[in-house]
């Protein structure tokens, strides 16, 4: 329970600080744009476009429903509902934050990218799915599984920056929001079903 409180506090504070700085600090936004320009080299690599496609937020919902369906098929209703609730709550929170902050995307973003920039929907979904998969499968697999999830997650993060779809703070905000929502839903699940 102490780990949950630490996760909630840190992720919540990071998210709040980012939102306040994006909304009210021109200096922060200038720094974020400079960092974005230094990190981004090219957007022509097809590999990063494939990674972005696989992690399209609507497609992540399909992956989530498939995982929940497998759990429900094995009569594991509570975990199946937890999987659906975790991504559902996180996506709803992401939608609300995007429309509260209303941050425009970087100027050189691809034309396919639309909507607001903060937080990154791709990173939000990828982070949440990695947390879900790790929570579900960590006992069945060794440390290599965690490394594979981490590499997959890093590819998604790099793709969002490389394709110029997001500023670095958009990615960090997505991670913070994902960890916050994941921890909230996990804590509620534990309180209801793991007594």
What lies within 8 Å, CB to CB, of 165 at 6+ separation is 52, 105, 106, 109, 110, 113, 117, 120, 122
User: What is the average per-residue pLDDT within 41-54?
Assistant: 77
Task: Please answer whether residues 181 and 86 qualify as being in contact, where contact means their C-beta atoms are separated by less than 8 angstroms.
Answer: yes
- Picking from 51, 71, 39, the residue whose alpha carbon sits closest to that of residue 136 is 71
- Which is more confidently placed, 104 or 193? 104
pLDDT tens digits for range 99-134: 999 998 887 655 556 788 899 999 999 999 999 999
Domain boundaries, the chain: 3-27+46-192
pLDDT at 51 over 90: no
Is the pLDDT higher at 140 or at 27?
27
Contacts of 42 (CB under 8 A, 6+ apart): 162
Does position 24 have pLDDT exceeding 80, yes or no? Answer: yes
Q: Tell me the pLDDT of the chain averaged across its residues.
A: 88
Q: How confident is the model at residue 23 (pLDDT cuts 50, 70, 90)?
A: very high
Give 133-160 pLDDT, tens digit per residue: 998 888 887 788 889 999 999 999 888 8
């Amino acid at each position: 329970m102490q780990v949950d409180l630490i996760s909630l506090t840190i992720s919540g504070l990071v998210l709040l600080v980012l939102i306040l700085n994006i909304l009210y600090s021109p200096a922060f936004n200038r720094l974020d744009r400079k960092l974005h320009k230094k990190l981004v080299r090219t957007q022509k690599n097809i590999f990063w476009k494939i990674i972005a496609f696989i992690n399209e937020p609507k497609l992540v919902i399909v992956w989530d429903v498939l995982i929940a369906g497998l759990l429900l098929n094995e009569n594991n209703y509570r975990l199946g509902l937890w999987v659906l609730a975790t991504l559902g709550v996180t996506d709803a929170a992401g939608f609300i934050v995007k429309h509260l902050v209303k941050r425009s995307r970087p100027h050189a973003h691809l034309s396919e990218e639309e909507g607001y920039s903060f937080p990154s929907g791709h990173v939000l979904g990828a982070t949440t799915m990695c947390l879900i998969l790790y929570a579900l499968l960590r006992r069945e697999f060794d440390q290599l599984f965690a490394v594979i999830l981490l590499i997959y997650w890093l590819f998604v993060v790099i793709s969002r920056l490389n394709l110029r779809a997001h500023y670095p703070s958009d990615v960090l905000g997505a991670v913070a929001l994902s960890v916050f929502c994941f921890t909230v839903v996990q804590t509620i699940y534990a309180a209801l079903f793991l007594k």
